[in-house]
Structure 1
Amino acid sequence: MGRYDLALVGFGGVNRALAELISHKEDHLAKELGLALRVVAITDLRAGSLVDIEGIDLTPLLAVEPGELSFAGLAGGSADPRNEWVIREVPADIVVEATFTNPIDGEPAFSHVRWALESGKHVCTTNKGPVALAGRALKRLAAERSVSFEFEGSVLSGTPVLRTAGRMFGGLDITGVQGIMNGTSNYILGRLEEGIELSAALAEAQELGYAEADPTADIEGHDVQLKVMILANEVLGADLRREDVFCEGISAITPQEVRDATSKGLRWKLVGSATRHEDGRVDARVAPLALPAHHPLAGISGPVNAVAFHTDLLGTVTVCGPGAGRVETAYALLSDIIAIHQRHADRDTAATRPVLKETHRG
C-alpha cells in the first residue's frame, strides 16, 4: 500500500471536489490501486490555512458552504493562508495546486509550483498559467529534484489528452493538433446558431456555471491560447510564448453570420491549432472557423471539448470529452496522483528486481 500525504493549495470547487473524491473513493483506491491518500494541509485565500500532519478530517469541512468556510477557529488553523510556509515546510508528499489562472505571468501559481518542487515534493495542477508560461523550466526543476510535475487537467479538464498522446501514440509522428478547448465559447456558438444574441447566450452560460463572472478569457480566446501553447510544447516539442500564438475570440461573430454558415452546412467553432513544419518550426493560432460537416470537430456541441491529433500512420485521431466541471477537473488531479504513485512504484520495483547475469557456453 502506497500512502501519500497531500497539501491542497486552493480550496475552491476543484480541490473541494478532490477532497470529496478522496473521501468517497477511499476503499476503491486502496483495493484497486493500493493507494491511500491523506490530506495534511489546506490553504485558501478566503478560508486561511489548516494543518494536521496526522490527517485532516474532511467531512466537517465539506459540510460547510465554500463562502462560509474559515479555518481560523480550528485546531491547526489560521486566517492567514501562509502558502509558502505550508508548501515548503509541511511534510506533504504531493502539493495539489488549484488556484486561479493568471495568463500574464502565471502568478501566484507559478511560485506555488516552484516552491513545492524546490522542496522535493511532487506537484499536480490544473492551472494553465505555470504550465504554458514556464512549463519547460518547471519540468527541468522537477527532474533535478527527482520528483514529478503533472498537469493533465490543464488542457481538457478530466479528458486525458496529454497522457493519451504521451503514452498511447508511441511510434507515431504527430504533425499537428486542432481542438475545441473551451466549453463556454462552444456553448455560446451553439446558442447563436439558434438565434440567441451573444449577451443572452453568455448570461445563460454564466447561470449554468460554464462561464466565470468575468468571461473575457473564454470569449476572447485567451484560455484556448494557453492550452494551445501547452499542447504545442508538450506534443510537438515547441517552445512557444504567448506572443507567438495569434489569438482572436468570438465576440465579433453575429447570430446572422452563424445562421448563414449553418445554411451552407458550416458550423462556427473557436479552434486552437498548432502545426509542425518539416523544418521543425511550429505555427499556432486561436481563431473562429466555419467548419464543414465532415470535419472531426464540427459535430462537437455544447460544453464538450475535443482535440484532433494529425498523425503520419493513423491519420486524424480525435479525443473528446468534458472540458470543464468541478468533478471532472478533480478527476484530472486524481489521475495525476495515480500517475505519480504508479511511476514511483515502478521505480521501486525496478530498483529491487534481481539482475540477470549473462552466461556463456564454452
Structure 2
Amino acid sequence: MKIAFVGFGGVGQSLAKLLVEQKRQLIEDFGFEPVIVAVSDVMKGAVYDPKGLDIPHLLEVLDETGNMENYFNTRSKVVKGLNSLETITGTNAEVIVEVTYTNVKTGQPAIDHCKAAFENKKSLVTTNKGPVALLYQELGELAAKNDVFWGFEGTVMSGTPALRMPVSTLAGNDITEIKGILNGTTNYILTEMEAGSSYENALAKAQELGYAEADPTSDVEGYDARYKAVILSNYLMGGNITPDDVACQGISGITVEKMEEVKSRNKTIRLLARIKKANGKITAKVQPEELEKNDPLASVQGPTNGILYKCNLAGPIFLTGAGAGLRETAYSLLIDLINYQREKRMKVREVDYNAN
C-alpha cells in the first residue's frame, strides 16, 4: 500500500513511526505492507520517492535540521518541494493520510484535500473534524462515486473507536440516544475544579500540561464537542445536521461555588454532548450537566473521554478511553488503514468469486 502524508506534525510522525514498528505484524496479520512514498508539510518541506522513502532516515533528518528537504537517498531520485495538492494528485500514492492543521469553521484546507483525493480516485484517512462535520454527505457521495475509502475514526475520540465500534459490533440496533464526554480538556478542568481548584487555575494547569491550547476557546466554549456531536449524529444516526443546529454552552461560567453546591448534593458536573433521535428527527446539544454519582459518565476523570449509546436491542453500551494524545490519534489512523486494507481484500475476493 503506497501512502502519502499531507501534514507531518506530531500525529503524522507518530503514525509514520507506528507503520515502521508494526510493519512485520501488519504484513503477517493483514497482508498490508505500508510504503510511504511522499510527505508534504507546509512548514517542514516535502519529499517524494515513488519507490518509497526511508522513514527512519527522514525522521532523523527532520529532527536534526527541521526540514525534510535535506533528506537524500543515493539509490533513487527524490522529488522535493511538492505542495499538498501536488502530493495528492501527482504522486503514485493510492491512499492519502490527511493530518494538516485545519480551520474548523471552514474545514479548509482539508476539504480541498479530500475532494482532490476522491476526484483522483485515491482513498483518504484523516483526523480532521472540519470536512466530516461540515460536508459529510457531499464528501461521502464523492468518495462512493469514485469507489474509494474515506476513514475518519480519529475525529471523535482519537484512538477509542467511537465510530466504527457501534457500526460493526452494534449492527442491527437502532441507536436512539448518544451522550458523551467528547473533550478531554474540559473534562480535565472540571475534574480539577471538583477537587477544589478555580476555573482559572485549572485552565492554566491544563495549558501547562499540554491539554489546552494557548487559545482554549474551542474547547472551553464547547465548540470542539459540538463538531463531534454533528459527526456522531450524521454518521451513526443517519442525520443531516450542521454545527449551527447544535445548541452549545461551554464551561467558562462555572464557578468554584457552583461546583461546591453541586457536590453538596452528591452530584458532579460534566460537559456533555447529547444527541436524541425521535420520530425520525435528530436533535443535539452541548452543555454542562449535573450527573448523579452512579452515572457511568460521572466516573470519567481527567483528560479522558466517555460515550454512552442507548440501543433498542442491546440496551445502554458504555465506552471510555483516551480522547487525545499523539500515539492514540495516530492509532486511529492505523485503524482506518487496516480497514481500508480489509475492504480491498474483500473486493478482490468478490472479483475472483464472480470470475469463477
- Interval containing the TM-score (normalised by the shorter chain): over 0.9
Tell me the CA shift for residue 31 of structure 1.
Answer: 1.5
2:117 aligned with 1:120: no
Pick aligned residue for 2:66 from 69, 88, 91: 69
Aligned to 2:165: 164
| Alpha-carbon offset, residue 71 of structure 1 | 2.6
CA-to-partner distance for each residue in 1:260-317, whole Å, 9 max, x for gaps? 2112111110000110112x11110000111111222111111110111011122211
Counterparts in 2 of 1:1-362, with a 5 A limit? Answer: 4-63=1-60, 68-75=65-72, 76=78, 78=80, 80=81, 82-278=83-279, 280-353=280-353
Tell me the SS of whatever aligns to 1:298. helix
The 3-state SS of whatever aligns with 2:166 is helix
Alignment deviations for residues 185-240 of structure 1 (CA, whole Å, 9 cap, x no partner):
00000001112122221121122221122211111111000000000001111111
Residues 105-147 of structure 1 show CA distances to partners (whole Å, capped at 9, x for unaligned) of 1001111111111110011001000000001111100110010
Give the direction of change, closer, same or farther, for the CA distance of 1:57–1:65 in structure 2 (3 Å limit).
Answer: closer
Letter in 2 for 1:323: G
Closer/same/farther in 2, CA of residues 66 and 117 from structure 1, 3 Å limit:
farther
Distance in 1 (CA, whole Å) between partners of 2:63 and 2:112 is 25
TM value normalised by structure 1:
0.93
Find the aligned partners of 1:81 and 1:291 in 2 and give their Cα distance.
51
Aligned to 1:359: none
Number of equivalent positions: 351
On the 8 A contact 1:48/1:77 being kept in 2, the answer is no
Q: Structure 2 CA distance, aligned partners of 1:223 and 1:183?
A: 10
Cα separation, partners in 2 of 1:355 and 1:57, compared to 1, 3 Å? closer
SS at match of 1:116: helix
The one-letter code sitting in structure 1 at the alignment partner of 2:11 is: V
Q: Distance in 2 between matches of 1:257 and 1:59?
A: 51
Q: How far apart are the structure 2 equivalents of 1:281 and 1:66?
A: 51
Contact 1:6 1:40 in 2 (8 A): yes
Rounded Cα–Cα distance in structure 2 between residues aligned with 1:330 and 1:71: 20
State how far apart, in whole Å, the 2-side matches of 1:91 and 1:347 are.
21
* Amino acid paired to 2:91: V
In structure 2, runs of 5+ residues without a counterpart are: 73-77
Contact 1:179 1:307 in 2 (8 A): yes
* TM-score (norm. length: structure 2): 0.95
In the alignment, the residues of structure 1 paired with residue 61 and residue 293 of structure 2 have an alpha-carbon distance, to the nearest angstrom, of 47
Do the aligned residues in 1 keep the contact of 2:271 with 2:287 (CA within 8 Å)?
yes
Alpha carbon RMSD of aligned pairs, Å?
Answer: 1.6
Q: Deviations over 1:319-342 (max 9, x none)?
A: 111100000000000000000000
Aligned in 2, Cα 1:255/1:13: closer, same or farther, shift over 3 Å? same
Q: 225-234 or 67-76: which moved more?
A: 67-76
TM-fit CA distance, 1:35: 1.0
Tell me if the contact between 1:9 and 1:42 (Cα under 8 Å) persists in the aligned partners: yes
SS at 1:225 equivalent = helix
Distance 2:100 2:241 in 1: 23
Unaligned 5+ segments in structure 1 are 357-362
How has the CA–CA distance of structure 1 residues 222 and 67 changed in structure 2, closer, same or farther, with 3 Å as cutoff?
farther
Checking the alignment, whether the CA contact within 8 Å between 1:47 and 1:81 is kept in structure 2 is: no
SS in 2 for 1:54: coil
Distance 1:151 1:354 in 2: 31
Q: 1:343 Cα deviation (Å)? A: 0.8
> What do the CA deviations read for 1:233-257 (whole angstroms, capped 9, x no partner)?
0111111111100111111111221
Distance 1:237 1:195 in 2: 41
Contact 2:61/2:67 (8 A) holds in 1: no
CA distance in 2, matches of 1:134, 1:66: 36
Instruction: Give 1:81 deviation, angstroms.
Output: 5.5
Contact 2:181 2:307 in 1 (8 A): yes
In 2, distance between residues paired with 1:42 and 1:65?
A: 12
Query: What's the CA shift for 1:50?
Result: 1.0
Partners of 2:62 and 2:68 within 8 A in 1 = no
SS in structure 2 of the partner of residue 353 of structure 1:
helix
1:221–1:66 CA distance, 2 compared to 1 (3 A):
farther
**What letter corresponds to residue 326 of structure 1 in structure 2?**
L
Give the partner amino acid of 2:313: L
